[in-house]
Structure 1
Amino acid sequence: MKFGISYSTPHYGTDPDKLAAFARLAEECGFDSLHLPEHIVLYPGAMVGPYEMPPSLPYLDPLDCLCFVSAATERILLGTSVLLLPYHHPVALAKRLATVDVLSKGRMRLLTVGLGGLPGEAQAVGVDYASRGRRADEAIDVLRLLWAGGEDGVSYAGEFFAFDNLCSFPKPHRATDLPIHVGGSSRAAARRAGRRGDGYFPGGALHPDERAVQWELARESAAEAGRDPETLEYTRFGSIDMPVERAAEFAAQGVTRVVVNASSTEADGQREELTAFARRFGLLQP
């Protein structure tokens, strides 16, 4: 079992010194990864389920933050939870992700992508909300095609993206691909994870039975697509105060990584919470 930690700028603030200190603390405590969320824009009345999002919530760009974090750390892997893939052009995104991976020496390896749940956000960037799932599928294919392509260039003709003989360099650090995990709370997301993803990271307040159905659906979809379901990673959110027994329950469900959040917004409280978690799960190195 691996353990990551999330850093939400709406909760913790946008102070760069605090972000860097938190990332170094997470690395010191043995967490394997740091994850940041994304919203490109908000607006009055934006609803996520029954919750109205205050439009002044300060979401920093996650990839810019992760590049910043990579300069302040040495080992911790960099992740998103989630990057709103349909709202990014994959040709430009392939370059940005490869850049972060190169500058971090191969640590941009926990990209999790989702579709976004705010129609106004899709409209703001010129994306049809109803077709964003198909757009995301194409974007995943384009990212992988560009990373794997050579000096002769690669071509693509799809519903949303089309190009001829493109070359995208540099490649990711010592690789021709980056793992892409799929986030979401729907069976469509689970199928997407199985067909195209390297892992599934479900969110939301799902009933345990529905979670089990979705994970099995991801595995079945992988097998139907000729992929090995055993290679799929399974990430879930946990709590910073969860007992060791809870991790055992996760493992029994096939979970390979748990991502937690610090409840404290102050440095001393965060150190206390992260250190206690690390000791409880044996993450601290002698």
Structure 2
Amino acid sequence: MKFAISYNTAHYGTDPDRLIAYARHAEDCGFEALYLPEHIALYPGASLGSFEIPPSLPYADPLDCLGLAAAATRRILLGTGVLLLPYHHPVVLAKRLATIDVLSGGRMRLLTVGLGSLPGEARAMGVDFATRGRRADEAIDVMRLLWAGGEEGVGFAGEFFSFEALCSFPKPLGVAHLPIHVGGSSRAAARRAGRRGDGYFPGGMLTPAERAAQLDLARASATEAGRDPGALEYTRWGSLDMTPGQVEDLAAQGVTRLVLGGPPTPDPSHHHDALSTFATRFAL
């Protein structure tokens, strides 16, 4: 099992020194990766289920934050949980991700993308909420095409994106393309993960039976697409108070990575203590 840690500026604020200290402490503790979430824009009345999101929450740009963390660390991998892919142009995003990967020494390796669930956010970005799944599929294909393309350029003709003889440099460091994990709690997300993803990262309040069915669907979709289902990583959310028994149960379900949410407290010292205690408990 691999263990990563999440840092949410909506909860902890945008103090750069605090983010840097958190990332360094997580690295020193032995955590594999640092994850950040994304909301591009909020608005009064935006809600996730029955929870209304305060529109003033400071969701900082996750890639900019990861760049800052990378400059202050040496080893820890960089992840998103999740980046709202339909609201980014893939030509620009491919360049940004490759640049972070090169400047960090090859650590932009846990990109997780999702569709977003706020219709107003889609409208603000000029995206038809109903088509965001197809847009995300195309965006994944475009980024991989650009990363793999050479000086002769590559072309793409899709429903949402098209170009001819386009070159994108720099390339990701030492790999043909950056891994792309797919987040989401729907069966459509599971199919997308199997067909296009390097990993599946479901969230949400799903029953154990539905979680198992979605993992089976992701693996079956990989097989149908001619891909190796055994190569699909399976990431889940966890918490810093988890016991070894709980982690063993998740491993038995096929989970290969846990992304642990930070403690719900404004005191940075409590965060660091919680990371240290977890690292000791699991001998990271």
Q: Percent identity?
A: 71
In structure 2, the partner of 1:278 is 279
What root-mean-square deviation, in Å, do the aligned CA atoms of Structure 1 and Structure 2 show? 0.6
Query: Displacement of 1:3 after TM fit?
Result: 0.1
Deviations 1:68-95 (A, max 9, x none): 1000100000000000000000000000
How many corresponding residue pairs? 283
Deviations 1:194-245 (A, max 9, x none): 0000000000111111111100100000000000000000000011101001
Query: Displacement of 1:45 after TM fit?
Result: 0.3
In structure 2, the partner of 1:239 is 239
Which aligned pairs between 1:11-90 and structure 2 lie closer than 5 A? 11-90=11-90
**Runs of at least 4 residues off by over 2 Å:** none
Q: CA separation in 2, counterparts of 1:196 and 1:167?
A: 22
In structure 2, the partner of 1:119 is 119
Q: CA separation in 1, counterparts of 2:10 and 2:157?
A: 39
Describe the SS at the equivalent of 2:156: strand
In structure 1, the partner of 2:200 is 200
Q: CA separation in 2, counterparts of 1:59 and 1:21?
A: 19
Q: Name the TM-score, length of structure 1 as normaliser.
A: 0.98
In structure 1, the partner of 2:270 is 269
Q: CA separation in 2, counterparts of 1:72 and 1:158?
A: 39
In structure 2, the partner of 1:92 is 92
Query: Displacement of 1:267 after TM fit?
Result: 2.0
The answer for unaligned runs of 5 or more in structure 2 is none
Describe the SS at the equivalent of 1:238: strand
What is the letter of the counterpart of residue 175 of structure 2?
Answer: A
Q: CA separation in 2, counterparts of 1:70 and 1:272?
A: 22
Comparing 261-270 with 16-25, greater Cα deviation is found at 261-270
What is the letter of the counterpart of residue 35 of structure 2?
Answer: H
Describe the SS at the equivalent of 1:78: strand
Query: Displacement of 1:249 after TM fit?
Result: 0.5
Q: CA separation in 2, counterparts of 1:267 and 1:52?
A: 26
Comparing 265-274 with 216-225, greater Cα deviation is found at 265-274
In structure 2, the partner of 1:143 is 143
In structure 2, the partner of 1:225 is 225
What is the letter of the counterpart of residue 282 of structure 2?
Answer: F
Which aligned pairs between 1:238-257 and structure 2 lie closer than 5 A? 238-257=238-257
Query: Displacement of 1:262 after TM fit?
Result: 1.8
Deviations 1:139-198 (A, max 9, x none): 000000000000000000000000000000010112220000000010000000000000
The answer for unaligned runs of 5 or more in structure 1 is none
